[in-house]
Amino acid sequence: MNWRKLILVLIIVLLYVPMVFLGANVFFPEYTGMNSYYRGMENCYSKYPYPEKLTETQRQTMDEDLTKCQQEYQQAQEDWEKNKLAYEGQKYVFITLFNLIILLLALFLPKLQQSISLGLFLGSIATTFGATLRYFDSRSKIGFIVLVITFAVTLFFIQKKKENFLSWKKN
């Protein structure tokens, strides 16, 4: 095995994977970083800083307010989660489509060096796998279709370029 070629393949893979995920966050900035979790509304208890000093009537009003506030909070959180999953589904489709295009380029561009072709192939497969794990809950139907196509192209790539995988003779 030619270790120099293997190192080149690893360099391509190690740069490709974070490049795609960073690009996805650049083009799809919602629900990333500080906005990746639900922050909620105002604290339901902020109106009642000293509940122990309330009368019975005020306590009943507080309980009703808190119940209503918690229900609103829960509904708002569910809506936020639904929107986040839909958005992440779009991000997943972007990532898998991008990887499919790179995979097709690695397959059909004949002038690519063997190490570049394999690096792009392995990078796109690793990134697609990572994105599938990361965005699994998005349940994207379009993403699933792209993933099936990627799987078929991967099988074709391996069949067509199996010599690249099996023998790397020193030059």
Residue 92 one-letter amino acid: Y
Query: Given a cut of 80, is residue 169 above it in pLDDT?
Result: no
Nearest-angstrom CA–CA distance, 153 and 149? 6
**Angle at CA of residue 71, ends 69 and 75, nearest 5°:** 115
Q: What are the DSSP calls for 65-102, one per residue?
A: HHHHHHHHHHHHHHHHHHHHHHHHHHHHHHHHHHHHHH
Confidence of residue 130 (pLDDT cuts 50, 70, 90): very high
Tens of pLDDT, residue by residue over 10-48, are 999 999 999 999 999 999 999 988 888 887 766 777 777
Domain ranges of the chain: 3-29+89-166
**Angle at CA of residue 139, ends 137 and 144, nearest 5°:** 125
Tens of pLDDT, residue by residue over 131-154, are 999 998 898 999 999 999 999 999
Confidence of residue 104 (pLDDT cuts 50, 70, 90): very high
Confidence of residue 99 (pLDDT cuts 50, 70, 90): very high
Query: Given a cut of 90, is residue 93 above it in pLDDT?
Result: yes
CB 129 within 8 A of CB 151: no
